[in-house]
Amino acid sequence: MAVLSVAVAVMLGTIGGCSQETKPLAFEPNLVHAMKYEIKEGVPMEQASEDAFWIVTEMFGTPENPKLPSVITEDEEFASIVSVENLQRASGRIGEEGRGLYQTHCVTCHGVTGNGRGELSATMNPYPRDYRKGVFKFKSTERGEKPLREDLAGLIKNGINGSRMVAIPSLTEEDVEALVDYVIYLSWRGELERMLIDDAIYELDFEEGDRIINPAYQNSADEEEKEEFEDSWELAEDFAMEIGEAWLEAPDAVVEVPDPPEGFVVPDSHEEFVAAMSDDRAETLTASVERGRELFRGKIAACSKCHGENGRGDGQNTDYDDWTKEWTLGIGIKPENRDALIKLLARGALPPVNAKPRNFALGAFHGGAKASDLYMRITQGIEGSPMPAVTFVDGQFEEDDVWHLINFIRSLQESTEESGSETEAETPQQT
Ligand code: HEC
Ligand code: HEC
């Protein structure tokens, strides 16, 4: 238990509020991911966790000295995903000349490691994103695909309405680009660490002494040991490239949002909705809202199941997001069963909080309020959350109906003011 418990002590120290100034900035190992398997499979995971961490540190460096593995830098396409110069700008400490963007603007929520575990995180719902799963919610690509750089850049620049992540007007274009690269970098690093552990669970026999990698073999005089090291390293490189490929493929997975059909009235904001309701578009728009209401409450689209009859987010609202589910329900533990979660909470898991269906009365849309944004959310769902992608049924619920749903949702907004960041992102309700 030595390694896991030392690391736990370090993490508890951070929560205790020790000053970060003098300590070196350090990435944390993904102990929750390892412990999850220790509980589920009953195999000891300390060594695996340490070995996976060794690999990602060799490949991706540290928060003060980030780097990329040679399989990435030496391949023109992979190298185009993240620029080392940008990583330099985004990483490092506050006050270091030309550096420290992430520490300045993001770390209090997303944590040094990008694990969503900054010092402010515990009061938010949803929690700040843990990038290590490689899953993002508000994107213009299909479900299952990575977001575009532009998606990430837009969120970083404008903030996420309805959450505590606010716009940062002081950021230049170059700053935003550097932060996008840094988010991808943290995600890449974190996803690789997870993949190494996931793969090892199925391929290796830890009880027999198998290792994800044995660093001591790197310069071994023994040919067999050296070869074993190289095989392990190459496998890790393959995983790193697999993740890179997913980022490269994103632009090919963009969803084309169609224009509303002729004769439809689909306002792009609440303001425009109110305006349309008081001119000659009112009749068409009212009919559309009615059709939307019917669908919303109907059996097929069944939006009210979660969002409630009047879209106040008061339907079924005791579900959890995938970040929480994978280390709770995923290993057969109920998130409500706090005693069973202690080992995981001690290793850095944030207490489970319910994933709340959006309350449309507030009019705050996390992924953007334009009709095309809502079209994306409704047709693709919101990845990692309980919000599903729609399933159309011929003659009953078809693609054009999405515009009616959007109009109905828009009609539910109760105030014309843009909902501020405080409204919905309240202290998580702990179950
Ligand atoms: C005050 C807290 C806070 C700060 C500061 C903050 N964020 Fe966030 N961030 C959040 C929260 C909360 C979410 C989750 C919102 C949600 O799921 O609706 C989030 C989500 C994200 C996402 C995921 C978007 C998606 O589509 O899934 C990215 C990327 C991100 N933040 C990047 C950043 C970067 C980069 C910075 C610094 C420039 C930053 N954030 C600063 C709280 C914060
Ligand atoms: C199984 C539960 C569930 C069902 C069914 C469901 N939703 Fe959601 N919906 C959610 C949750 C949870 C969220 C919040 C997700 C998040 O941001 O993490 C959400 C968020 C949304 C958002 C907010 C998007 C944004 O950018 O903020 C819209 C719009 C939405 N849902 C529309 C719909 C519509 C329309 C339907 C029916 C076709 C529907 N939902 C069905 C659970 C559900």
Tens digits of per-residue pLDDT, 94-126? 999 999 999 999 999 999 999 999 999 999 999
Produce one character per residue of 232-244: b if its CB has 16 or more CB atoms within 10 Å, e if not: bbebbbebbbebb
Q: Same structural domain for residues 119 and 245?
A: yes
**Cα–Cα distance between 152 and 172 in angstroms, integer?**
15
**Cβ-Cβ contacts under 8 Å for 139 (sequence gap 6 or more):** 145, 146, 147, 148, 151, 376, 383
Q: Which ligand is nearest to the CA of 155?
A: 1
Structure tokens at 263: 């004769």
Q: Same structural domain for residues 59 and 113?
A: yes
Q: Which ligand is nearest to the CA of 372?
A: 2
**Cα–Cα distance between 296 and 403 in angstroms, integer?**
12
* Ligand 2 atom closest to Cα of residue 367: 26
Residue where the block lists tokens 């909470």: 345
> pLDDT at residue 352 above 80?
yes
Q: Same structural domain for residues 298 and 216?
A: no
Q: Same structural domain for residues 86 and 114?
A: yes
Q: Return the closest-CA partner of residue 42 out of 331, 351, 353.
A: 331
In a domain, 335, yes or no: no
Q: What is the pLDDT of residue 384?
A: 98
Q: For residue 14, give Cα distances in angstroms to 10, 118, 122, 366, 428.
A: 6, 10, 14, 30, 21
**Cα–Cα distance between 63 and 82 in angstroms, integer?**
15
Q: What is the pLDDT of residues 136-171, one digit of tens each?
A: 999 999 999 999 999 999 999 999 999 999 999 999
Q: Which ligand is nearest to the CA of 301?
A: 2
For residue 396, the Cα-to-chain-centroid distance in whole angstroms is 34
In a domain, 394, yes or no: yes
In a domain, 342, yes or no: no
Tell me, in angstroms, the distance from the centre of ligand 2 to residue 124's CA.
19
Which residue range forms the structural domain that includes residue 284? 270-319+354-411
Cis peptide before 251 (omega within 30 of 0): no
Does residue 409 line the site of ligand 2, with CB under 6 A?
yes
* Ligand 1 atom closest to Cα of residue 162: 18
What percent of the chain stands above pLDDT 90? 90
Q: Same structural domain for residues 301 and 394?
A: yes
Q: What residues flank ligand 1, with Cβ below 6 Å?
A: 105-106, 108-110, 120, 124, 126, 128-129, 136-139, 147, 152, 155-156, 160, 163-165, 168, 179, 183, 366
Residue where the block lists tokens 């309240």: 426
In a domain, 418, yes or no: no
Q: Which ligand is nearest to the CA of 166?
A: 1
In a domain, 75, yes or no: yes
In a domain, 262, yes or no: no
Nearest CA to ligand 1 atom 17: 126
CATH number, domain of 383, equals 1.10.760.10
Q: What is the pLDDT of residues 199-219, one digit of tens each?
A: 999 999 998 999 999 999 999
Nearest CA to ligand 2 atom 24: 365
When pLDDT is cut at 50, 70 and 90, the band that residue 21 belongs to is: low
Q: Same structural domain for residues 23 and 171?
A: yes
Q: Same structural domain for residues 236 and 204?
A: yes
> pLDDT at residue 295 above 70?
yes
Q: Same structural domain for residues 197 and 298?
A: no
Structure tokens at 333: 């533990």
What percent of the chain stands above pLDDT 70? 91
Q: Same structural domain for residues 284 and 139?
A: no
Question: In testing the pocket of ligand 2, which one of 139, 288, 382 has its CB within 8 Å of the most ligand atoms?
Answer: 382
Q: Return the closest-CA partner of residue 185 out of 138, 132, 246, 225.
A: 132
In a domain, 22, yes or no: yes
CB count within 10 Å of CB 72 equals 23
Q: Same structural domain for residues 88 and 227?
A: yes
Nearest CA to ligand 2 atom 27: 365
For residue 336, the Cα-to-chain-centroid distance in whole angstroms is 23
Q: Same structural domain for residues 195 and 291?
A: no
In a domain, 259, yes or no: no
Whether the CB-CB separation of 71 and 58 falls below 8 Å is answered with no
CB count within 10 Å of CB 42 equals 8
Tell me, in angstroms, the distance from the centre of ligand 1 to residue 282's CA.
38
Q: Which amino acid is at 31?
A: L
**Cα–Cα distance between 120 and 128 in angstroms, integer?**
9
> pLDDT at residue 13 above 80?
no
Count of structural domains, the chain:
2
Does residue 163 line the site of ligand 2, with CB under 6 A?
no
Nearest CA to ligand 1 atom 12: 128
Q: Same structural domain for residues 277 and 245?
A: no
